Amino acid sequence: MLYGTQVMSGSKKLDPRDKMFAGYSVEIVKVGSVYKYILGVSSSPEEAREKFLKIRSKFPGAFMVQYSNRDFPAPYRGVETK
């Protein structure tokens, strides 16, 4: 299982080198016709939470997700993200 911070989604695929993602490695997950952009990916929910707290200062609407190679990102409720 992987954990990360979804910062946006949309129908157009953005370049992961776009300046809005500067300083972050971006995972792009396609679900149907929607691209989901996930930053701060980690196999540890605690480490992902630490990254989330930093990422949301740049992306206020961001939220934590969990996913694997077999499923699509879903909101993660296992670690307090406030």
Domain harbouring 25, CATH code: 3.30.70.1070
Sign of the C-alpha dihedral, residues 11, 17, 21, 27? positive
Segment 54-75 mean pLDDT: 84
pLDDT at residue 41, rounded to an integer? 94
Considering the domain boundaries, does residue 26 fall inside one?
yes
Give residue-wise pLDDT tens across range 9-64. Answer: 999 999 999 999 999 999 998 888 999 999 999 999 999 999 999 999 999 999 99
Side chain identity at residue 19, one-letter code: K
Considering the domain boundaries, does residue 81 fall inside one?
no
Domain total in the chain: 1
Above 80 in pLDDT, residue 73?
A: no
68 contacts 2 by C-beta, under 8 angstroms: yes
Considering the domain boundaries, does residue 80 fall inside one?
no
Considering the domain boundaries, does residue 21 fall inside one?
yes
Structure tokens at 12: 């157009």
Q: 4: closest CA among 13, 15, 19, 21?
A: 21
State which residues form the domain around 55. Answer: 2-75
Considering the domain boundaries, does residue 46 fall inside one?
yes
Considering the domain boundaries, does residue 45 fall inside one?
yes
Residues in the chain: 82
Q: 35: closest CA among 49, 15, 20, 17?
A: 15
pLDDT at residue 68, rounded to an integer? 80
